[in-house]
Structure 1
Amino acid sequence: MPSHTYLSKEEKSAPGHKVSKERLTLHLRCNASGDFKLKPFFVCLAENPRALKSIFKSQLPVIWKSNQKAWVILMIFEDWFNDHIVPAVERYCALKSLPFKVLLVLDNALGYPQSLSDMHPYVKVVYLPPNTTLLLQLMDQGVIAKFKAYYLRRTICSALRAVESNQELILKQFWKAYNIADAMKNIASAWDEVKMTILNGAWKKLCSF
């Protein structure tokens, strides 16, 4: 969310509230042609937050995981790889009548295992060189920037709609009520909005089509 605001001349200070301490790690993955996006991978602090009470995690628009620091640790990554990445890509290949042979490109994040070569016979893993995130990391070639812009637009529109529909509601109250479930819905919608051309263009520095 925006970290700054403007004051009118009549105001001496902006009324505020404590910023939520909720933190999360979000992973976005797609294929090189840009016609296949994995569900956003969502690592949160709480395993069962109050905002998701009575909601089955299998029905969420994201893949939900949690740990005490909201980090992607080795166990979480291996679960994501085996239970989500491999089955989803296998279904995509079957739908497109393609052989199930996958090249998975990863950077050198701490939560990634040093070797995934033995985890699946049809998935080859390539690690990007250290300190090349801005130059080569695929999601950093405009994809994350677009996604953040779409997420911000959707969230601000939600705030405006809420305030306009309820004249007694002020913006500060909306932000206080905004929770991890609301963020998750906007994340999924923003990821759906990222176009195929943006995803495909992210690969131009590594390979050409």
Structure 2
Amino acid sequence: MAEQYEKLCDMMATKRDIAQGFQKRPKEEVQEFWEEVARNLNAFGPPTKDSNTWRKVWIDWKYYMKRKLSHNKKERMSTGGGPCRLQRISPLDEKVIALTGLETDDIPSTKTKKFNEAAFGKMEEVTSYLRHMNRSLETLAETAVKQPEEQKRHNRIKEELVKEKVEIKMQMLRLGPNYKPDSKKIFGIRHLKICGEILSSDKSGITSFIHNLRAKMNEMEISDMQLYNADESGLFYRFLPDKTFVAANEKTAPGRKIAKDRITFMLCANANGSHKLKPLIIGKSANPRCFKGFENPLEYANSQKSWKNSELFFRWFHHSFIKQVGQFSAENNLPPRALLLIDNCTAHKPTDKLQSDDRNIAAMLLPPNVTAVFQPMDQNPIRLVKLEYRAKLLWNIVAQENIPVENILKGHSIRDTILLLKLAWDE
């Protein structure tokens, strides 16, 4: 039996990719190899096995080594365990570990003594370093009293650097001889997700546009209260957050199937925030069943894919925007004039159709490729409305304790979405 295992290791050494289970060979070639393994090993038998059984023997052997290495690693990291609880790894086992690419750092017995010596030596080094640093700090503190202010400042800086080094050494002492300082902390950097489109923006036309905008406002004789901006965004209204808090001992956070039911909403407000118009909601259905007996507090429209198009936008401009701006102007004793800033997309063209009959209410396009930098609604309002909507959706789910989350999300309709969006926009 031992000769068979020795021969198995020798044959697997000729095919390292098959030994590790990551081969990209044809199935016929792999099967031919295992049949050759079976013939050679059966010659040393008994026992005698077929090719599939010998393959299973090799797979089980690999997993047994993996469990043994994991056990030894846990024993080293535990308090009070010690080498006495480490499982022995034979030379043949070490050969399997080397062939399969498992962690060779966890091979114990003969290396345990060297590991402990390395740890003890590291601790002695850190202790000696700390004593030296303490003496250096005391010397700096004594000489600082007798030296000029400039030299004191220099010593304070030096003292801070020494303290930082001591802190790093203390971390090395706590975490063991294999600890390496975090390079991100050393170099003062952090890891962030790349988001937005600011780097793709064309900022060359912003200055000229600002002058044109001021000239247009002077020509129309309007103030910031009469300058509006509108922009739309998609919303997966049944989508739950993909991050959560878990206990420190939990390794994963299981999730659910992502609900991709989508609508589009458009926000519009004036420059000083005194007038927030009713958001426009764009869904797929012309008459959703959930609207029966429902007085919609927002504007609703529909398109085939829940996207905004020129027809919907022109209809909103003439039947909703002009009307709401007129009411606001009358309530605040303002002349019925307004200018709407919108991004340069095809749904907003041509702009000569975006004006009232008396031409006192009109629209103006922003320069192309400046939305991420210059569009007011893209700076924060849309993001904050989405965050507030998500929070209210979660509160709604938490409030219904005895109902499964899947049932709550399934029953969450566009009607519920509109009510939550209205609350988020009002706040």
TM-score if structure 2 supplies the norm length? 0.40
Hey, what does 1:173 align to over in structure 2? 407
Deviation at 1:117, TM superposition (A): 5.6
Hey, what does 2:279 align to over in structure 1? 40
Distance 1:169 1:94, change over 3 A: same
Secondary structure at 1:185 match in 2: helix
Larger of the two Rg values belongs to structure: 2
Hey, what does 1:64 align to over in structure 2? 300
Deviation at 1:12, TM superposition (A): 8.5
Report Cα offsets for 1:98-120 as digits up to 9, x if no partner.
01111110101232122136631
Hey, what does 1:147 align to over in structure 2? 385
Distance 1:183 1:118, change over 3 A: closer
Structure 1 vs Structure 2 CA RMSD: 2.3
Distance 1:15 1:115, change over 3 A: closer
Deviation at 1:154, TM superposition (A): 1.1
Amino acid aligned to 1:136: F
Distance 1:185 1:173, change over 3 A: same
Distance 1:127 1:51, change over 3 A: same
Distance 2:287 2:251 in 1: 40
Corresponding residue to 1:88 among 315, 318, 324: 324
Deviation at 1:16, TM superposition (A): 3.2
Deviation at 1:150, TM superposition (A): 1.2
Corresponding residue to 2:339 among 99, 103, 106: 103
Distance 2:371 2:250 in 1: 45
Contact 1:134 1:140 in 2 (8 A): yes
Hey, what does 1:28 align to over in structure 2? 267
Distance 1:117 1:4 in 2: 45
Corresponding residue to 2:424 among 185, 190, 194: 190
**Structure 1 residue ranges without an equivalent (≥5):** 194-209
Deviation at 1:181, TM superposition (A): 1.2
Contact 1:102 1:122 in 2 (8 A): yes
Distance 1:155 1:6 in 2: 17
TM-score if structure 1 supplies the norm length? 0.79
Contact 2:283 2:306 in 1 (8 A): yes
Contact 1:159 1:174 in 2 (8 A): yes
Distance 2:311 2:285 in 1: 17
Q: Does 1:16 align with 2:252?
A: no
Hey, what does 1:127 align to over in structure 2? 365
Q: How many residues align?
A: 185
Distance 1:96 1:6, change over 3 A: closer
Contact 1:28 1:38 in 2 (8 A): yes
- The percent identity for this pair of structures is 28
Report Cα offsets for 1:180-207 as digits up to 9, x if no partner.
11111100110000xxxxxxxxxxxxxx
Q: Does 1:113 align with 2:349?
A: yes
Contact 1:25 1:43 in 2 (8 A): yes
Contact 1:74 1:113 in 2 (8 A): yes
Deviation at 1:14, TM superposition (A): 3.9
Secondary structure at 2:368 match in 1: coil
Amino acid aligned to 1:180: I
Hey, what does 2:190 align to over in structure 1? none
Distance 1:141 1:10 in 2: 37
